[in-house]
């Protein structure tokens, strides 16, 4: 099998029902602005997380699309944090819910599992 110089994940989307509520949640929890993407139309609204494609990690967006409901999915996206306990507290403050508070994953750091304002479970990861 050939080695790849790219990350396994190239893009992610988090589906939402209420875009304003979801933007408020993510922008406040992670202290980062989103920017509207010009989508393909057909009732699809997308707001991208700002980022740099030349660094570690994958870009992605919040997406509102008729017929695709948030929550009850089987994929967990982990957001990189300095200390995931900080974002965990912000998640609760901005309409989310903690599923599992910060815990060690050994030499790989720490994670928290939280639900966003739309019912999607997301992960928080930090090295401290």
Domain boundaries defined on the chain: 12-126
12-126: CATH superfamily: 2,3-Dihydroxybiphenyl 1,2-Dioxygenase, domain 1 (3.10.180.10)
Average pLDDT, the chain: 86
More confident residue, 79 or 68: 79
Give the pTM.
0.79
Beta partners for 61? 13, 48
Share of the chain above pLDDT 70, in %: 89
What pLDDT, on the 0 to 100 scale, is given for residue 69? 77
pLDDT at 52 exceeding the cut of 80 = no
CA-to-CA dists, residue 20 to 60, 62, 76, angstroms: 17, 10, 22
pLDDT at 67 exceeding the cut of 60 = yes
CA distance 42 to 100: 37
* pLDDT tens for each residue of 23-33: 999 999 999 99
Split at pLDDT 50, 70, 90, the class of 62 is confident
């Amino acid at each position: 099998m050939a080695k790849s110089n790219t990350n396994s994940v190239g893009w992610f989307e988090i589906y939402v029902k209420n875009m304003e509520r979801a933007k408020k949640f993510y922008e406040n929890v992670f202290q980062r602005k989103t920017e509207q993407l010009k989508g393909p139309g057909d009732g699809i609204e997308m707001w991208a997380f700002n980022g740099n494609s030349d660094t570690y990690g994958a870009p992605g967006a919040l997406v509102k699309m008729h017929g695709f409901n948030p929550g009850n999915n089987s994929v967990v996206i982990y957001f990189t944090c300095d200390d995931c306990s900080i974002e965990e507290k912000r998640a609760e403050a901005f309409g989310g819910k903690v599923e599992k508070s910060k815990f060690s994953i050994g030499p790989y750091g720490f994670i928290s599992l939280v639900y966003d304002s739309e019912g999607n479970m997301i992960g928080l990861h930090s090295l401290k």
